[in-house]
């Protein structure tokens, strides 16, 4: 069985602060894929990143960075210099083996205030 845990239910930061969203996963598959999605209040799930289990390189995209560590089964997401527009619910998700099903974590609500 697959499982994704996002222990942080809600995080509040002041604009320009850095914030890290945690994601821990469980899977028995040797090949699997990890994803992060952003869901603003409008409802759309916006794809942010996909990482496969064989690629542990960290990735940076503008103010966003991701740290993938297989040793701790974690795929954490950091926003540097947060902005009000970053306010949303962020979901970490896992897809493994031949499964077409995307297993989501429970989401972390990020509130960025001025």
Partner 1 sequence: DTEVTQTPKHLVMGMTNKKSLKCEQHMGHRAMYWYKQKAKKPPELMFVYSYEKLSINESVPSRFSPECPNSSLLNLHLHALQPEDSALYLCASSQDQSSGNTIYFGEGSWLTVV
Say whether 56 sits in a helix, a strand or coil.
coil
What is the closest distance, in whole angstroms, from the C-beta atom of residue 100 to partner 1 in the complex?
Answer: 4
Task: Select from 12-20, 35-43, 64-72, 76-84 the region that touches partner 1 (CB under 8 A).
Answer: 35-43
Q: Which of 12, 20, 47, 83 binds partner 1 (CB under 8 A)?
A: 47
Q: Is 40 in contact with 31 (CB distance < 8 Å)?
A: no
Q: Which of 45, 64, 73, 111 binds partner 1 (CB under 8 A)?
A: 45
Instruction: Count other C-beta atoms under 10 Å from residue 57's C-beta.
Output: 7
Q: Which is nearer to partner 1, 42 or 114 (CB)?
A: 42
d(CA 107, CA 37): 9
Our finding on whether 33 is near partner 1 (CB under 8 A) is yes
CA angle, 13 as apex, 110 and 21 as ends, to 5°?
45
Which one among 7, 14, 46, 84 touches partner 1, defined by CB under 8 A? 46
């Amino acid at each position: 069985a697959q499982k994704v845990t996002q222990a942080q239910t809600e995080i509040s930061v002041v604009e320009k602060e850095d914030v890290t969203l945690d994601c821990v996963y469980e899977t028995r598959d040797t090949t699997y894929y990890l994803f992060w999605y952003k869901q603003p209040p409008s409802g759309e799930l916006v794809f942010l990143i996909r990482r496969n289990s064989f690629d542990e390189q960290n990735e940076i995209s503008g103010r966003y960075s991701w740290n993938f560590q297989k040793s701790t089964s974690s795929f954490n997401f950091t926003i540097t210099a947060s902005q009000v527009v970053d306010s949303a619910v962020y979901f970490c998700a896992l897809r493994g083996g031949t499964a077409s099903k995307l297993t989501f974590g429970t989401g972390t609500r990020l509130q960025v205030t001025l």
